[in-house]
Amino acid sequence: MPTDPLKWAMIGCGGIAKTHLKALEDLRSRGIDDAIFTAVCDNNEDNARAFAQELETRFGMKAKVYTDYRQMLDAEKLDAVDICLPHGLHHVVACDAMEAGAHVLCEKPLGVTIAASRKMAETADRTGKVLSTAVPYRRLPGQRAVHWVLNESGLIGRPLSFFHQYTQAPRPRPAAQTSVPPAVRWRRDRLMSGGGATLDGGFHYCDSIRYFLGEVDRVYAECRNFSSGEPVTFGESSEDTIFTTFTFKSGVVGMWSWAMSAVGEPLSSIVFYCSDGSISDRTPSGAIYKHLFWRNPPSLPSEDGVLTKRDGSTLSLAEVERLHLEAIGLRAEELFPRGCQDGFAYEIWEFAEAVRGRKAKVEVDGWEGLKSLAVCEAIYESAYSGQPVKVEDVESGKVRAYQKMIDERWGL
C-alpha cells in the first residue's frame, strides 16, 4: 500500500480536466492533499503546457509535459492516471495505462461502446488495477438524499413510476465564433463520440436512475433531429430530441423525454411517484436535459423541489437533505468526507482511497460503469431498430446494431 503522495498524470488537458483541478482544490482546502500530478499529456502541446502552469501556480506542482501518452507511461513511474479524453480514446489509453502498472480514473461514459467498456473492465480485473468511472452526480447531496427517500426512508413508500420532461430552444452560435471548437468537433463524429447527448451527458442521467431505482429491464425509445425544421430520422445525424420509456426489473416504469430544438415555451418537470407520495425537482428549464435532483445551489440558485406525502404535507428538498443527514449519522463522513459536497472532488478522493487500499472498491468501477452505459446504448439500439430492447442483451453484446460500425472503427 503506497504511503507517499500518489503520483498522478493527467491525460487530456481540456475543459473537463480543468474541472478536476477545481475539485482537487476543494480537497486541498479540506486538508486532503496526498496526491501530486507529476506529468501531463495532451496532443496539443500548448494545452499541456498551460495545464502544467496551472498546476504549478495553484498547487506548486511541477509536472513534466508530454504530447505522447505512451512515451509518458514508459518514462514516468506513475501510481494513477486521470483520463479526460474524447470517448473513442478511453479504452485504448486506459488499457495501456493499466498494463503499464497505473490505476485509472476515467471520465464517463467509460468506453465508446459496450465492447470498449468491457475491454477496460476485463483489463482492470486481469491486472488488479483500480478502474473508476467518473460520475459526480450520484455523489451530490441531492441525489444521495433522493436515493435514501426512495430506498430507505419509508417517507413516501415504494417507487412506482417517474416522469421527466425537458425542452429548450436551439442555442445560436456566438457571432464571433467562426469555427467549431475542438470540444464540439469530436462530439459530432459518431465514431469518436459514440453518439450524441444521450451518450454524453445522458450517461450521468442513466447512471442516476439506476442508482435511484435499480436495474433497467427494457427500453423503448424514439430519437429525432428537428433542428433543420424537419423530423430527421435517427442514424442520419445526432439526436436533439428523444422520447424514452424505461421498464425496471422492480416493475417501476419511467419516461424521459427532452428536446434541444423546441422553439417556443420551455418545459421542465421531474416527478417520482411512490405508493404514499411523490418527490419532484422544480428547477426551471434554464438547467439542462440531464438535470436530476442535483441540489447544487452555487450553480443553480433557483433550484428547488418538494416531497409530498399522502396526507398532503410537504417537505422541501433542503428539509429532505437535513433528514437524510440525521438518519445516516456517522455514515455522513463516508459520503461527504470532511464536509465535501462536490461530486468531482468525491470521485477523486474515493479513487485515491481505493488505490491506497483504504476502501475495498470504488462505487462505480468498470463493470458498474458498463451497466450504466448499457442503458444509454439501449436507447440508441431501440431507436435504431424501432423495437423495444432488453438492457441485458445490450450489455452482453447480443444487441449491437447501432454500435457495430463504431466497434469496427476501433477493431473491437
Q: Please, which residues bridge with residue 136 across strands?
A: none
Same domain flag for 357 and 273: no
Rounded percentage of the chain residues whose pLDDT exceeds 70? 91
In a domain, 217, yes or no: yes
| pLDDT tens track for 355-369 | 999 999 999 999 999
Q: Which three cell numbers stand for residue 42?
A: 495532451
- Specify the 3-state DSSP secondary structure of 242: strand
The pLDDT score that the predictor gives to residue 302 is 62
Question: Is residue 156 domain-shared with residue 195, that is, in the same domain?
Answer: yes
- The string of DSSP letters for 313-328 reads -EEEHHHHHHHHHHHH
Q: Which residue has the cell 428539509?
A: 319
The answer to whether position 258 is within a domain reads yes
Q: Which residue in this structure is represented by grid cell 404535507?
A: 313
Residue 154 predicted with pLDDT over 80: yes
Residue of higher predicted confidence among 288 and 317: 317
| The three grid cell numbers given for residue 248, joined into one nine-digit string | 425496471
Q: Are residues 36 and 22 in the same domain?
A: yes
Name the strand (E) or helix (H) holding 163.
Answer: strand 159-167
Residues 292 and 157 in one domain: yes
Summarize the confidence of residues 70-82 as an average pLDDT.
98
> Does 163 lie in the same domain as 131?
no
pLDDT at res. 36: 94
The CA distance from 337 to 322, in Å, is: 17
Quote the CA–CA distance of 17 and 252 in Å, as a whole number.
36
The grid coordinates listed for 376 are 444509454
Inform me whether the pLDDT recorded for 235 exceeds 70: no
* pLDDT confidence of residue 188: 82
Model confidence at 101: pLDDT above 70: yes
Burial 375-393 (b: 16+ CB within 10 A, else e): bbbbbbbbbbeeeebbbbe
**What residue numbers bound the domain in which 40 lies?**
6-136+342-363
Band (pLDDT 50/70/90 cuts) for residue 182 is: confident
Both 238 and 112 in one domain: the answer is: no
Q: How many CB atoms lie within 10 A of CB 2?
A: 13
> Could you tell me if residue 130 is inside a domain?
yes
Does residue 312 share a domain with residue 183? yes
Q: What is the pLDDT of residue 111?
A: 98
Q: Which of 205, 69, 133 is nearest to 354 (CA)?
A: 133
| All cell numbers assigned to 290 | 440531464
197 and 75 fall within a common domain: no
Question: Stretch 376-400: mean pLDDT, rounded?
Answer: 98
pLDDT band at 298 (very low <50, low <70, confident <90, very high): low
Which residue did the predictor score with more confidence, 311 or 304?
A: 311
Q: Are residues 164 and 303 in the same domain?
A: yes
Q: Would 394 be classed as within a structural domain?
A: no
Domain assignment of residue 275, yes or no: yes
What CATH number corresponds to the domain at position 235?
3.30.360.10
- What domain count does the chain have? 2
Q: pLDDT value at position 328?
A: 96
User: Does any domain span residue 314?
Assistant: yes
Do 102 and 247 lie in a common domain? Answer: no
Residue 287 belongs to some domain of the structure = yes
Dihedral sign from CA coordinates of 23, 51, 132, 217: positive
Four-residue CA torsion sign, 21, 25, 30, 34: positive
How does 55-86 read in b/e, with b if 16+ C-beta sit within 10 Å?
beeebebebebbeebeebbeebebbbbbbbbb
Domain's final residue, options 305, 339, 373: 339
- The CATH number that applies at residue 108 is 3.40.50.720
Same domain, 236 and 248: yes
Last residue of a domain, one of 304, 339, 374: 339
In a domain, 391, yes or no: no
Rounded mean pLDDT, 178-189: 74
251 and 222, same structural domain?
Answer: yes
